[in-house]
Amino acid sequence: MSMKGDVWSAALAKCALFAGLDEEEVLLVASLAQEKRVRRKGVFFREGDQPCALHLLLAGEVALKQASIDGQEVIVRLVGPGEVFALASALEGAAYPVTAEALRASHALVWDQPAVQELLRRIPGLCRNAMAVLLRRIRDLEQRFREIATERVSQRLARTLLRLARHAGRKVEGGVLIDLPLSREDLAQMTGTTLFTVSRCLAEWERKGIVEAGREKVLIRSTHGLVTVAEDLPSADE
């Protein structure tokens, strides 16, 4: 237990939800956690599942998807190592509004609802931290809402790629590689369009030398070029 506590405490400290906790509190958090591992394409939980638990991703990458009645899916958020997910559901005690699907083999700490309640009771600063996390999510959602409401697909896709580069970009010779196995369909579900339109955009940008696209792979050759598209600025070649 105490060894695990040590291994986990690094991850816990990096996480915004548990930032600023003292040693004793970290141990409490660790002692109530359970572990869960999921292989690529597996799920931590499905939309509608109950009861629901708080998750902290230690390793891997998770996509949170929401489906409409007719089966159309949207990716609401990508979660990377050190980020929590299902915080809202765990706090509210409501069913998960999304399905958490692993893009690659993933490993998370999990706190069930009694544990979350216990933590909230015993750790004074936790509620403030939780609020900070939620506030950030609201900002993010409002911005994306405005984007999807007012911008064209190419602009939104460019922004999505830029965000992905920040979230999971790896510098390589020739540009920034988005180091996630994302299909055209995945990008479409993040952008609010179809895989066909995504494919066409990427093909056009490849012709212009802005990106290099491959199977479940995008390499950004010119961040500046993408910004130009995202902001709808006139580009050199038309």
Partner DNA sequence: CGTGCCCTTGAAGATCTTCAAACGCAGTGG
Partner DNA sequence: CCACTGCGTTTGAAGATCTTCAAGGGCACG
Site for DNA, rule CB under 7 A: 152-154, 183-185, 192-197, 199-200, 202-203, 213, 215-216
The b-or-e profile of 45-59 (16+ CB within 10 A means b, else e) is: bebebeebbbbbbbe
* Distance in Å, CB of 180 to a copy of itself, minimum: 20
Which listed option, DNA, a copy of itself, none, makes contact with residue 141 (CB within 5 to 8 Å by class)?
A: a copy of itself
The tokens for 54 are 């708080």
Q: In this structure, are residues 227 and 166 in contact, taking their beta carbons and an 8 Å threshold?
A: no
Handedness of CA 120, 131, 68, 81 (dihedral sign): negative
* Distance in Å, CB of 191 to a copy of itself, minimum: 8
> Contact with a copy of itself (CB under 8 A): which of 69, 214, 224, 234?
69
Closest CA to 18 of 131, 136, 129: 129
Closest CA to 106 of 58, 65, 63: 58
C-beta closer to a copy of itself: residue 7 or 19: 19
C-beta closer to DNA: residue 88 or 195: 195
- Alpha-carbon distance of 183 to 187, in angstroms, equals 6
**Residue 76 binding a copy of itself, by CB under 8 A:** yes
Q: Which residues bind a copy of itself (CB under 8 A)?
A: 66, 68-70, 72, 74, 76, 88, 91-92, 97-98, 120, 127-128, 130-132, 134-135, 137-139, 141-151, 189, 191-192, 231-232
